[in-house]
Structure 1
Amino acid sequence: MATKKKAKRKLIAVLVVLAIIAAAGIGYSVYRSTRNAGEKTITVGLVGNADDAIWDAVQKELDNEKAGIKIEKKAFQDGIYANQAQANGELDLTAFQHYAFLNQEKSEKGYKLTAIAETYISPLNLYSKKYKSLKDFKSGDKVAIPNNATNTGRALKVLDAAGLIKLKDNTKTNPTVDDIAENPSGIDIELNDPASIINLLPDYAAGITNTNFIIDAGMSADDALYQAPIDTNNKSFKPYINIIVARSDQKDNADYQKVVKAYHTKSVADAINENYKGAVVPVFKY
């Protein structure tokens, strides 16, 4: 009889413990739901996944500040579609383009989008899986460059700086192939989708594309055959500084400014430097 009573007491004790655990679990779920309900989700359009670590650092800063903001990253293959989605109200912010690209998009499509912060400057470099030196290029070699107007111009400036071509005016903001004065190397320049250029390298002599696509492909800026020098104090680089963009009627949104404040911190600058191994240069003060 005593044994039965003892077993019964143990069973009751176990049930009490289970009830406490269940109550705690329910309490935490209610707390989490309440906390999440108070959070504001801000969707940020990116191109590729190269900046994920940077935006994770931004989220950490927001959490440390108890800002009540959750960043939701949405990756696009092409910035044209990201801008379209933002203009249609599907995104709150974008963070993939520079001033020149944004201004071109606004001019062509009438988007009411505004830069609310600067992030970093990313060079376009020349990559090759065929050659080790600029001296190796020969007449008829195919070189792929981006097909959007602003990056076409930047890529032509890289080829000019590398000595493969000579532009009529290398200070022009957006030169085109019609602005090529001389082609001493005899290369054939072909315009391609920036995201596809890395995959073309086995068949092309070389290619120029954005650093984020290089990172996404598991490569490094150090793999470049030719790296264009960066000078953040040079005003000619201003059009190519990357920016965070909002719809114009939301440019003063208080929550967006919290995101900017979180981005413009040392920890995010460190994340940029670590993520891009010095190939991308933060331009903000912190």
Structure 2
Amino acid sequence: MRFDKKQIILLLACLVLGLFTINTNVQAKTTTVVVGTQGSDAQIWRHIAQSTAAKKAHLTIKVKEINDGIQLNRATAEGSVDANAFQSYGYLMSYNHDNPQGKLVPIGTTYLEPLGLYSKKYRHLRQLPKHAKIAIADDPANQTRSLQLLQHLGLIKLQAKHSTAAAIADVQENPHRLRFYPVNSSTVPRVLDDVAAGLITNTVAQESGLNVWHDTLAHEKLNRSTQKNINIIAVRPQSSHKPAMKKLVQLYRQPSIQRYIQKSFHHTKILVKEPIANLKESNHG
């Protein structure tokens, strides 16, 4: 059977089109990723999961809420969760220290949620009296963060060796004779009537109707001293180089996603594109 020139050209065109279609279908294969999260982050990731940006990235995101940080990290280490997004870099380092057999690695930054010093009795930091009773989180990561904010404000001084992890016992100088009242971080807003002031994470403050920009005596700012407080996306070491994991970081930073976050959370989540390597340097500096 002989083909003329036009038939040959047509057959070649069909062959090329078929190969292109097959290649496109392979490239467009959708990957399912289970993202473990909690609190306001769950709302964010449910929005991301339904977004056009996720579809364009060929990701099917399933959001799994686990409202306990340690259990969420363990679920990630064990593989029932592919990646988690809820914790600060400092929290993750503390977890890894306590769980050497199930360490996770950060693959990208998301935001800084400024921790603030809130009061129902005083409007300005200078009004805070001596011997003031201060509610503070009782967990290591948030207590360290709270004490470091107080040190930055000049209210206390910590022992130098406890610059990366500190507890109330590590307060070296306390000229204002502040009295610390340790409670679960989520309950600090509920005890504000009984104390002079309380140190509250932004997520907890938001859930209690408080705004870090308007309702604090003072709050954290994004600088080198707060880099370890930046939130991150964490995965198992063997998953850190998977394309789908890198896409999660890129998705979070999409302009359309950021507009939703800023509108929903009153601009209290500060987008951070800091390289993970910089956070590591800060932690060891």
Pick the TM interval, shorter chain: 0.7 to 0.9
More displaced, 187-196 or 118-127? 187-196
Query: What whole-Å deviation, never above 9, does each CA across 1:33-80 have from its counterpart, x for those lacking one?
Result: xxxxx865433222323551465146414444061413324141x422
Cα RMSD for the two superposed structures: 2.6
Shift of 1:119: 0.6
In terms of mean alpha carbon deviation, does 96-105 or 54-63 score higher? 54-63
Gapped regions of structure 1 (runs ≥ 5): 1-37
Preserved contact between residue 132 and residue 179 of structure 2 (Cα < 8 Å): yes
Confirm whether residue 256 of structure 1 aligns to residue 237 of structure 2. Answer: no
Cα distance in 1 between the residues matched to 2:58 and 2:117: 41
Greater C-alpha Rg: 1
Alpha-carbon deviation of 1:102?
0.6
Query: Contact conserved, 2:39 with 2:203, CA < 8 A, in 1?
Result: yes
Q: Which residue of 1 aligns with 2:257?
A: 268
Matched, 1:158 2:149: yes
User: Is 161-170 or 150-159 further displaced after alignment?
Assistant: 161-170
Task: Select between 252-261 and 115-124 the one with higher mean Cα deviation.
Answer: 252-261
Residue 128 of structure 1 pairs with residue 119 of structure 2:
yes
CA positional deviation for 1:178: 3.0
Change (3 A) 1:228 1:219: closer
User: Which position in structure 2 is the counterpart of 1:22?
Assistant: none
Aligned partner of 2:82: which letter? D
For 1:224, the equivalent position in structure 2 comes to 215
Q: Does the C-alpha gap of structure 1 residues 96 and 66 become closer, same or farther in structure 2, counting only changes over 3 Å?
A: closer
AA aligned to 2:157 is: K
| Counterpart position of 2:87 | 97
Contact 1:168/1:180 (CA < 8 Å) preserved in 2? Answer: yes
CA distance in 2, matches of 1:171, 1:224: 29
CA distance in 1, matches of 2:264, 2:161: 31
Matched, 1:180 2:171: yes
* Cα distance change of structure 1 residues 172 and 68 upon mapping to structure 2, 3 Å threshold: closer
Counterpart contact for 2:33–2:59, Cα < 8 Å: no
Residue 144 of structure 1: aligned partner: 135
| Matched residue type, 2:136 | I
Question: 1:269 deviation in Å?
Answer: 2.5
**2:95 counterpart letter in structure 1:** E
CA distance in 1, matches of 2:212, 2:86: 18
Superposition deviation, residue 271 in structure 1: 2.8
- Distance in 2 (CA, whole Å) between partners of 1:50 and 1:221 is 17
Between the aligned partners of 1:177 and 1:148, the Cα distance in structure 2 is 11
Secondary structure at the residue paired with 1:97? strand
| 1:65 partner letter | K
Cα deviation for residue 140 of structure 1 reads: 4.1
Find 2:69's aligned residue among 67, 71, 79.
Answer: 79
Of 84, 97, 108, which residue of structure 2 is paired with 1:117? Answer: 108
> TM-score w.r.t. structure 2 length?
0.75
Q: Does structure 1 conserve the Cα–Cα contact (< 8 Å) formed by 2:110 and 2:271?
A: yes
Structure 2 vs 1, CA of residues 53 and 99 (structure 1 numbering), >3 Å: closer, same or farther?
closer
Matched residue type, 2:253: H
Question: Displacement, 1:184?
Answer: 2.5
Report the equivalent of 1:195. Answer: 186
- In 1, the alpha carbon distance for the partners of 2:66 and 2:211 equals 20
Q: Alignment length, in residue pairs?
A: 245
Tell me if 1:236 matches 2:225: yes
CA contact (8 A) 1:143 1:189 kept: yes
CA gap 1:68/1:50 in 2 versus in 1, 3 angstroms: closer
Q: Map Cα deviations across residues 182-207 of structure 1 (whole Å, 9 max, x no partner).
A: 22322211222211212222222221
The corresponding residue for 2:195 is 204
Q: Which amino acid in structure 2 is aligned with residue 98 of structure 1?
A: S
What amino acid is the match of 2:240? K
Shift of 1:246: 0.8
Match of 1:6 in 2: none
Deviations 1:113-137 (A, max 9, x none): 1111111112211011222222333
Could you tell me which residue of structure 1 aligns to residue 23 of structure 2? Answer: none
Structure 2 gaps of 5+ residues are: 1-28, 275-285
> What is the CA–CA distance in structure 2 between the aligned matches of 1:183 and 1:47, rounded to whole Å?
35
Cα–Cα, structure 1 residues 229 and 171, in superposed 2: closer, same or farther, change >3 Å?
farther
Task: Give the fraction of aligned pairs with identical amino acids, expressed as a percent.
Answer: 28
